[in-house]
Structure 1
Amino acid sequence: MQATLKLVLPLAILIGFSQQMIPVVGAQGVTITIEKDKDKKSDSKTSDSKKKAPFSGTRPSVDVAILLDTSNSMDGLIGQAKSQLWNIVQEFAKAKKRGKTPLLRVAVFEYGNSGLPASEDYIRQVVKLTDDLDKVSEALFALRTNGGDEYCGAVIKEAIKRLDWSSEPNAYKAIFIAGNEPFTQGSVDYRSACKKAIGAGVVVNTIHCGDYQQGINGKWKDGADIAEGEYLNINQDEKVVHIKAPQDTIIIKLNNELNKTYLWYGSKSKRESYESNQALQDRNASGFGGLSIRAATKSSSLYRNVGRDLVDTYEEDEDAIAKIDVVELPEELQSLSPSERLKRVEAMSKRRAEIKAKLAELNKERQAYVAAEQAKLAEPSEEATFGDAFSGTVQKQLEASGFELEK
């Protein structure tokens, strides 16, 4: 397999224009090939016409389903998904509608694993659409590969059917499906599945792990074209490099302080589970050198635990605490009076806001440092990373859904 990464941007709005191929050398020596239209004026006009009306609800919706091939050859893909989860989430943190950060929900499916029932087309819904990002991280780190048959059409069909996609007219709804076998396998026609997806307002982005032309021949690009998504071509065995920064030490310390502001509630077992899983996902991210990026995500409003943490729940509904049974409150709050509990939550809210503000400031400094270090690894004006490739896809599609992006 070639150690190269190729990115193709075949949005449906680009069909019919002449194209040129521009090679770009990545920060780790990875080559990304980007298809661009020569007629930029026509492209801009078409793109603008695709944009949806401004958001008019209480909070904009972003639903993303990640469909991962977990057959034998996909260990590298799963490793990339684990190590880059928080980078991916960070892209959505840059998006706003009328000043509001979106409510991000993520779902995960695995397919092509022979350990799954053949009667169900070797497909498993690992996590339903959820805003519990720690649960998503937990699910990714639990995935294991095992050979099998990869039925892309079937898993897309199941994702559309099973998930409770947002009904908001202007929501961003997308599938990212990754694998290396022909897109045509299985009894479910990928064309029919992709048509159903875009008919439901869900774009399908395809990520072929392997040769660029082989992916086209295997109909991965065709699937993306039908569902108005993008065709991405990657080397799943390319190692993801996280650059260390001088801000990391302080960021990690602040992350530990941030964890102390969480007041988990629910049954005793749930409280313990929420707390332990938050710490576990910190360790998982740290194992890939990405704890600083996870901490930055936790400092944003995308990392929310409404219905699990008293502080986040209180900030959304000030009357919520009074509605919770005493036995489901954190033990240190159970013996307090209602007014004392409220003061405790407010104090934690204030403390969390202070920590988040410091983390956000340090993260900006860290991003500037990392960008400078990446520039040293690449030839001038030719630097690119996998994060850049993913960023381009998400940014274009978010803007088409009416989001404004922070520059």
Structure 2
Amino acid sequence: MKHFKHLMGITLFTIAVGTAYGCNLKPKENFGKAEKQDTAMLTTTVSEKPAKQFVKVALLLDTSNSMDGLINQAKAQLWDIVNEFTYAKCGNETRPSLKIALYEYGNDNLASNEGYIRQVIGFSSDLDEISEKLFSLTTNGGEEFCGKVIHTSLKQLDWGKNADDLKMIFIAGNEPFTQGKLDYKDATLQAKEKDVIVNTIFCGNYEQGISTKWKNGATLTGGEYMAIDHNKQVVHIDTPYDDIIIKLNSQLNNTYISYGALGSKKKAQQSMQDSNAAEMEEAVVVKRAVSKSSRLYNNSSWDLVDAIEDEDFEVSELKEKDLPQELKGKSEKEITVYLESKKSEREKIQKQIQELNKKREAYIAKNQKEEAGELENALLSAIKTQAAKKNYRWD
């Protein structure tokens, strides 16, 4: 499971890397005749950067009968992924964001004319929604067409054309990579043309994954091939700090002030994902709470405390009908004072969670048994190697 944990940690790091400024600080080498242009023109060309740069990660999960363990691991490890890559940096010192998409394939409940493939969620940075979609997955036997699902994700998702974006696919399953009418080689060629790296995760014996072309599917785009035991139970280490973090998480929820048409629904979703984490294990609740204390957990679309941080948001433009009950009838100044107090309260709680998590991580490091030749270290190293080509690093 640790293998899948970092595999997904890798993925979610990737997720954590969308930024308003390009990560590649070096001027493009191919300027055509730029060298012959005057200095002013060259300066203008070099300084132009895309308005947004992203790390985009698509998770393609096999949901056939044999994959219950894989889905459970994904549910348990989502927050490890976010927390692992909260500290990713671009070369210009900015902290990037993250976009994650989720597909399921190989399930008899899915349409046969679509190749037993379904887009569960397109690229999103809404962590609660991603969690909700993961928990909605169920398994049922079916045909598993790897080439088809890769092709579909490349076609349906907006990967963008920015050469500095980090774009990755992680596909997990246990049937031959060659199944289906669409040749996986054609699909990986399409990925390469879009500058998308395909990483493959075979759920089973390492050598069997090689013989069934999972390794070749990754190699064709410069990706990594990994083999995991998808039925292995996730091992969590309880710490003396867990109960305190869980209590702080409840206090943190009270700082969210919903607004607008989706406000109450999204706040309920937040609570439900806390409950889903609790159904997995107490440690998963703790990891989710740590994620909620990080910069990657932003809900400005429905939470007024996050919204007031947006440059384009104006309290004066709020309509009475969009306000929560506690703010109805309040003046603009009263609303602002209230939200600032909630912001201060939230920051204090988030800081406490982060400080406790440092102690928690130190406790885990001290009490965790070392495993020789762990795949997770190799996975993390491989992903960072791919990211380094785009000038990303971790601090």
User: 2:393 matched to 1:404?
Assistant: yes
In the superposition, the TM-score normalised over structure 2's length comes to 0.84
| 1:48-100 Cα shifts (integer Å, max 9, x gaps) | xxxx7239666642211110000010001011101111111222212012332
- Cα displacement string for residues 297-340 of structure 1 (whole angstroms, at most 9, x for unaligned residues): 11111111122211222112263333333312222222211121
Equivalences, count: 354
1:284 corresponds to: 276
Alignment partner of 2:98: what SS? Answer: strand
What residue in structure 2 maps to residue 217 of structure 1? 211
> Residues of 2 paired with 1:235 and 1:162: CA distance?
30
Distance in 2, Cα, partners of 1:4 & 1:277: 28
Q: Counterpart of 2:159?
A: 165
Between 1:348-357 and 1:206-215, the stretch displaced more is: 348-357
SS at match of 2:123: strand
CA contact 1:95–1:398 (8 Å) conserved in 2: no
The residue number in structure 2 matching 1:15 is none
1:12-55 CA distance string (max 9 Å, x none): xxxxxxxxxxxxxxxxxxxxxxxxxxxxxxxxxxxxxxxx7239
Task: Show the counterpart of 2:364.
Answer: 370
Q: CA RMSD in A?
A: 2.3
Segment drifting more, 96-105 vs 356-365? 96-105
Q: CA deviation at 1:286?
A: 2.2
- The answer for unaligned runs of 5 or more in structure 2 is 8-22, 27-48
The TM-score, its normalising length taken from structure 1, stands at: 0.82
1:310 corresponding residue in structure 2 = 304
Equivalents in 1 of 2:292, 2:121: separation in Å? 20
Residues 393/403 of structure 1: CA separation in 2 closer, same or farther (3 Å cut):
same
- Which of 74, 77, 81 does residue 84 from structure 1 map onto? 77
- 2:24 pairs with 44, 49, 53, which one? 53
1:249-328 to 2 correspondence within 5 Å? 249-267=243-261, 270-289=262-281, 290-317=284-311, 319-328=313-322
Aligned counterparts, 1:34-45, within 5 A: none
Equivalent position SS for 1:245 = coil
* 8 Å Cα contact 2:58/2:102 also seen in 1: yes
For structure 1, the residue ranges without an aligned partner over 5 or more in a row are 10-51
1:316 alignment partner, SS class? coil
Q: Which has the higher contact order (CA 8 A, sep 6+)?
A: 1
Where does residue 104 of structure 1 map in the other structure? 98
Distance 1:168 1:312 in 2: 28
Q: Secondary structure at the match of 2:170?
A: strand
8 A contact 1:61–1:166 mirrored in 2: no
Sort the Cα spacing of 1:363 and 1:185 in 2 relative to 1 into closer, same or farther, 3 A: same
User: For the residues of structure 2 that align with 1:193 and 1:314, how far apart are their CA atoms?
Assistant: 43
- The verdict on how the C-alpha distance between 1:383 and 1:350 changes in structure 2, with shifts beyond 3 A counting, is farther
Post-superposition shift, 1:192? 1.2
Does 2:118 match 1:124?
Answer: yes
Matched, 1:333 2:327: yes
For residue 227 of structure 1, report the CA deviation from its aligned partner.
1.6
Of 221, 225, 238, which aligns to 1:227?
221
